[in-house]
């Protein structure tokens, strides 16, 4: 529980400094669960840790509390903690903003996805959304860069998908760069490095160079003349080498303590796979770090917001910039976000697609942006989630319930209400004073939206309830049919329930159950696990527009995907 203790310590120190040196266990526990909702599963253990840490923190002087907080989490955390969460102002300030403005006139952030599949929530909630929000906050620029430097793993369709998904999320960019459009610039820089004796063409096999690397020894190619390496470079471009026979490497130090910096590769040959945009026009492709260093410099990127897993990449990019005399952008690194219950890596999704286990990148079981939007997650909910997660340096296990809670607040005021009954069971009621006219608001807080109206003319009154509500219908028990009347159960069997009318006034203390009467429509609800629930829905549901989100009362929020006349097909959003 070391990570838990770390989170608890942070919130205990913050709470103590806000309250004259004395933290509240209850307040700290609330903050910890808000940051890491998955900890509810071990709440008793978390409560014990909170109690221990709060006692330790409260034994410190205020000066000690401040010193520990700043030493452990950085001085900026105090400034951030004073600002309200869930607002643009609540994001921690970026370092070096004024210097960037003096040098470039503005700050510039970037989001640089590869077109290897649809964007997923893990990519977007921080790298994309925070880059956009910070550019917006500081009246800066955001660059969208499509990093298409490996034709073996990219597809043409994904270029447009990236643009479409970001637009649907309300993310705007000021400049769009397709890296493959700029390969000539990358060749220019590579040649400059070779001419300066700062890079060389290595013809070692991958296995052979690995042995040199492990032994901290230079490969024989490294110290050949600049003229020889320029000749080899030209051969790479002109077809003198085949795939895997030559790479351009940056000269760093083959005895460097960080193995990643032992002459890292910059460009390699790929000739067996056509590029989706360029075909076979190019055969020498820049590697990720080389492309990043050049594009960040040329786009005047001042701030990079990325996961801490890029620490090794950052080290390589720093060496490239050093060799070229360029200044590295400021990198702000955040902890990884792990989605509970999901394998979000694109290789897992691609494998599922190839095996036919998934219907597409928008399969409701996936955490891709396309799938979440299809279900009815609102762009604003993802924006709010980005603000909530902010730049927390700790890894977070994120439950989708956190996103659902934010989304619920957004859709609840706009979602009209309807009754849906899964696995219906008929209820026959005798003795009701007919005729009865029923008016049920489309939304309880919005009278102006109108009503769903029903009329019962001839006895007996017949309605349908969900089989899961059978537990309330026991002989002799009373039940309220919501917005209709109260009944007493007379007889129950598998196919039908017989009841007697016992009045229209709302009675406290009896179960309340929704219902559907004839005429009705059939409905299907696709659940997040891909299973489909079938049932019936009230006739007024035919007025729901495709794409509209509604609340199926006592069941869930859902988005109508298709209205096929007799059958309405919904996608389950969340409860």
pLDDT of residue 77: 55
Q: With respect to residue 252, please indicate whether it lies within any of the assigned structural domains.
A: yes
pLDDT of residue 82: 45
Spatial contact of 12 and 28, defined as CB atoms under 8 Å apart: yes
The CA distance from 443 to 108, in Å, is 44
pTM over 0.75: yes
Mean pLDDT of 511-515: 96
Residue among 3, 23, 2, 4 at smallest CA distance from 13: 23
Mean pLDDT of 485-511: 93
Instruction: Give the pair of three-digit tokens for residue 423.
Output: 């696995």
What is the 8-class DSSP label of residue 126? Answer: I
Spatial contact of 146 and 179, defined as CB atoms under 8 Å apart: yes
How far is C-alpha 408 from the geometric centre of its chain's CA atoms?
16
Spatial contact of 537 and 516, defined as CB atoms under 8 Å apart: yes
Residue 343's pLDDT band, with cuts at 50, 70 and 90, is low
H or E element at residue 568: strand 567-574
Half-sphere exposure of 187 (CA within 13 A, CB side): 17
Q: What's the alpha-carbon Rg for the chain, to the nearest Å?
A: 31
Q: With respect to residue 364, please indicate whether it lies within any of the assigned structural domains.
A: yes
Q: Does the pLDDT value for residue 122 go beyond 50?
A: yes
Structural domain including 244 reads 184-286
* Model confidence pLDDT, tens digit, residues 428-453: 999 999 999 999 999 998 999 999 99
Spell 49-87 as b/e; 16+ CB within 10 A means b: bbeebbeebbeeeeeebbebbeeebeeebbebbeeeeee
Percentage of the chain beyond pLDDT 70 is 96
**Tokens 């009209």, residue?**
416
Q: How many structural domains does the chain have? A: 5
Q: With respect to residue 90, please indicate whether it lies within any of the assigned structural domains.
A: no
* Model confidence pLDDT, tens digit, residues 26-75: 889 988 888 777 788 788 888 999 999 999 988 887 777 877 887 776 65
Residues 128 and 231 in one domain: no
Residue 130's pLDDT band, with cuts at 50, 70 and 90, is very high
Whole-angstrom CA distances from 175 to 133, 204, 292, 295 are 16, 39, 16, 12
Whole-angstrom CA distances from 186 to 256, 291, 312 are 26, 7, 21
Q: Does the pLDDT value for residue 89 go beyond 80?
A: no
Residues 402 and 427 in one domain: no
Residues 68 and 156 in one domain: no
Give the domain CATH number at 199: 3.90.800.10
pLDDT of residue 42: 86
3-state secondary structure of 463: strand
Residues 422 and 524 in one domain: yes
Residues 379 and 361 in one domain: yes
Whole-angstrom CA distances from 505 to 501, 509, 513 are 11, 13, 15
Mean pLDDT of 84-112: 81
Instruction: Mark which of 246, 261, 286 sits at the end of a domain.
Output: 286
Mean pLDDT of 474-495: 94
Q: With respect to residue 193, please indicate whether it lies within any of the assigned structural domains.
A: yes
Residues 460 and 493 in one domain: yes
How many Cβ atoms sit within 10 Å of the Cβ of residue 144?
A: 22
Q: With respect to residue 65, please indicate whether it lies within any of the assigned structural domains.
A: yes
Residues 145 and 216 in one domain: no
The CA distance from 151 to 283, in Å, is 10
Residues 307 and 162 in one domain: yes
Bridging pattern class, strands 549-552 and 461-466: unpaired
Instruction: Mark which of 335, 357, 372 sits at the end of a domain.
Output: 335
Residues 32 and 164 in one domain: no
The CA distance from 314 to 328, in Å, is 9
Instruction: Mark which of 21, 49, 82 sits at the end of a domain.
Output: 82
**To the nearest 10°, the Cα dihedral for 432, 435, 436, 437?**
170
Mean pLDDT of 145-157: 97
Residues 550 and 448 in one domain: yes
Q: With respect to residue 87, please indicate whether it lies within any of the assigned structural domains.
A: no
Q: With respect to residue 494, please indicate whether it lies within any of the assigned structural domains.
A: yes
Please classify residue 198 by burial: count the beta carbons closer than 10 Å to its beta carbon, then call 0-12 exposed, 13-18 middle and 19+ buried: middle
Residues 461 and 565 in one domain: yes
The CA distance from 570 to 380, in Å, is 22
Residue among 548, 460, 535, 449 at smallest CA distance from 500: 460
Mean pLDDT, the chain, rounded, equals 91
Please classify residue 325 by burial: count the beta carbons closer than 10 Å to its beta carbon, then call 0-12 exposed, 13-18 middle and 19+ buried: exposed
* Model confidence pLDDT, tens digit, residues 391-406: 887 788 888 889 999 9
User: By mean pLDDT, which of 84-98, 121-135, 198-212, 217-231 is the weakest?
Assistant: 84-98
Mean pLDDT of 360-387: 94
Return the ∠ at Cα 193 (arms to 189 and 197), rounded to 5°.
165
pLDDT of residue 87: 38
Give the domain CATH number at 143: 3.40.50.620
Q: With respect to residue 91, please indicate whether it lies within any of the assigned structural domains.
A: no
The CA distance from 302 to 194, in Å, is 27
pLDDT of residue 270: 97
Sign of the torsion angle spanned by Cα atoms 211, 213, 218, 219: positive
Residue 83's pLDDT band, with cuts at 50, 70 and 90, is very low
Residue 2's pLDDT band, with cuts at 50, 70 and 90, is low
Residue 349's pLDDT band, with cuts at 50, 70 and 90, is confident
Give the domain CATH number at 393: 1.10.1160.10
Q: Does the pLDDT value for residue 90 go beyond 80?
A: no
Residue among 155, 218, 193, 220 at smallest CA distance from 286: 193
Q: Where are the beta strands (DSSP E) in 194-276?
A: 199-202, 247-250, 265-269
The CA distance from 451 to 440, in Å, is 5
Residue 305's pLDDT band, with cuts at 50, 70 and 90, is very high
Residues 162 and 302 in one domain: yes
């Amino acid at each position: 529980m070391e990570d838990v203790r770390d989170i608890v310590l942070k919130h205990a120190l913050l709470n103590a400094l806000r309250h004259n040196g004395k933290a509240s266990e209850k307040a700290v526990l609330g903050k910890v669960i808000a940051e890491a909702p998955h900890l509810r599963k071990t709440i008793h253990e978390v409560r014990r840790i909170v109690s221990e840490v709060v006692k330790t923190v409260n034994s410190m002087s205020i000066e000690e509390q401040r010193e520990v907080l700043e030493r452990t989490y950085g001085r900026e955390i105090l400034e951030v903690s004073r600002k309200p969460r869930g607002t643009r102002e609540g994001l921690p300030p970026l370092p070096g903003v004024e210097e960037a403005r003096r040098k470039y006139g503005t700050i510039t952030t970037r989001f640089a996805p590869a077109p290897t599949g649809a964007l997923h929530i893990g990519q977007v909630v921080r790298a994309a959304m925070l880059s956009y929000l910070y550019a917006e906050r500081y009246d800066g620029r955001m660059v969208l860069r499509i990093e298409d430097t490996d034709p073996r793993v990219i597809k043409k369709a994904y270029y447009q998908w990236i643009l479409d998904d970001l637009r649907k999320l309300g993310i705007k960019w000021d400049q769009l760069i397709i890296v493959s459009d700029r390969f000539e610039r990358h060749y220019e820089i590579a040649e400059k490095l070779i001419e300066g004796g700062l890079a060389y063409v290595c013809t070692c096999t991958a296995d052979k160079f690995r042995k040199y690397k492990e032994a901290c020894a230079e490969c024989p190619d490294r110290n050949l003349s600049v003229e020889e390496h320029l000749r080899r470079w030209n051969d790479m471009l002109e077809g003198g080498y085949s795939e895997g026979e030559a790479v351009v490497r940056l000269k760093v130090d083959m005895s460097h303590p960080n193995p990643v910096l032992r002459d890292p590769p910059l460009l390699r040959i790929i000739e067996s796979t056509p590029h989706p945009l360029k075909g076979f026009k190019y055969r020498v492709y820049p590697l990720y770090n080389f492309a990043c260093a050049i594009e960040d410099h040329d786009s005047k990127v001042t701030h990079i917001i990325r996961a801490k897993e890029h620490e090794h990449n950052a080290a390589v990019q720093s060496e490239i910039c050093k060799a070229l005399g360029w200044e590295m952008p400021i990198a702000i690194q955040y902890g990884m976000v792990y989605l509970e219950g999901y394998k979000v890596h694109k290789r897992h999704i691609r494998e599922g697609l190839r095996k036919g286990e998934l219907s597409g990148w928008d399969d409701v079981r996936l955490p891709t942006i396309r799938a979440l939007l299809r279900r009815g997650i609102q762009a604003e909910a993802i924006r709010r989630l980005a603000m909530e997660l902010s730049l927390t340096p700790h890894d977070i296990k994120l439950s989708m319930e956190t996103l659902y809670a934010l989304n619920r607040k957004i859709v609840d005021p706009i979602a009209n209400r309807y009754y849906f009954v899964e696995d219906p069971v008929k209820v026959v009621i005798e003795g009701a004073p007919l005729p009865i006219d029923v008016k049920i608001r489309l939304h309880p807080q919005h009278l102006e939206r109108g009503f769903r109206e029903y009329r019962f003319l001839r006895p007996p009154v017949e309605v349908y309830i969900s089989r899961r509500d059978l537990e309330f219908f026991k002989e002799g028990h009373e039940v309220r049919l919501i917005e209709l009347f109260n009944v007493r159960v007379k007889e129950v069997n598998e196919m039908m329930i017989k009841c007697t009318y016992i009045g229209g006034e709302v009675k406290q203390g009896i179960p309340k159950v929704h219902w559907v009467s004839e005429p009705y429509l059939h409905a299907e609800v696709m659940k997040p696990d891909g299973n489909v629930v079938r049932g019936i829905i009230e006739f007024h549901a035919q007025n729901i527009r495709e794409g509209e989100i509604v609340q199926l009362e006592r069941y869930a929020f859902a988005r109508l995907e298709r209205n096929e006349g007799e059958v309405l097909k919904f996608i389950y959003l969340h409860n």
